[in-house]
Amino acid sequence: MFKISATATFAAAHRLWGYEGACENLHGHNWTVKATVGTAELNKIGLAYDFRSLKEKLKEIIDCYDHRFLNEIPPFDKINATSENLAKFIYEALAQKLPKPIKPVSVEVGESEKYTAIYEE
């Protein structure tokens, strides 16, 4: 399988319901999202998928989060806005936007350069 990745960023606040500690309070992050997609075949010019197209699709998904309070945006008004839940939601949204035979491989969401969560099927 050929795999390519693109990374995008956004700044947003959240709070973790039920967390025992400081993260239960409202706080913000400069989030990083790395999406990796794959395919078994290259196109006629030798690309798995265009980097620019992947970054544009990723940006379409995460733009609604930029400079927002994540806990007010569905589905995070019902489930915790954790890195893990963000990664899964972004993965599923990306899967709907990709042309066949391109498929998501993984989505990695980072709250900082030290802490990330990865979702893959």
Identify which of 60, 68, 6 has the alpha carbon closest to the alpha carbon of residue 37.
6
Read off the pLDDT band of 110 (50, 70, 90). very high
Mean pLDDT calculated for residue range 6-17: 97
Task: Work out the pLDDT band at 97, boundaries 50, 70, 90.
Answer: very high
User: Where does the pLDDT of residue 111 fall: very low under 50, low under 70, confident under 90, or very high at 90 and above?
Assistant: very high
The pLDDT of residue 92 is 98
Give how far Cα 107 sits from Cα of 23, 43, 72, 84, 119, Å: 23, 23, 22, 10, 5
Cα gap 45→112, rounded to integer Å:
36
Report all structural domains of the chain as residue ranges with CATH numbers, in order of start. Answer: 2-119 (3.30.479.10)
Three-state DSSP string of 101-120: CCEEEEEEEECCCCCEEEEC
Q: What is the pTM of this model?
A: 0.95
Q: Closest Cα to residue 112, out of 3, 6, 11, 16?
A: 11
Question: How does DSSP assign 49-91, residue by residue?
Answer: S-HHHHHHHHHHHHGGGTTEEGGGSTTTTTS---HHHHHHHHH
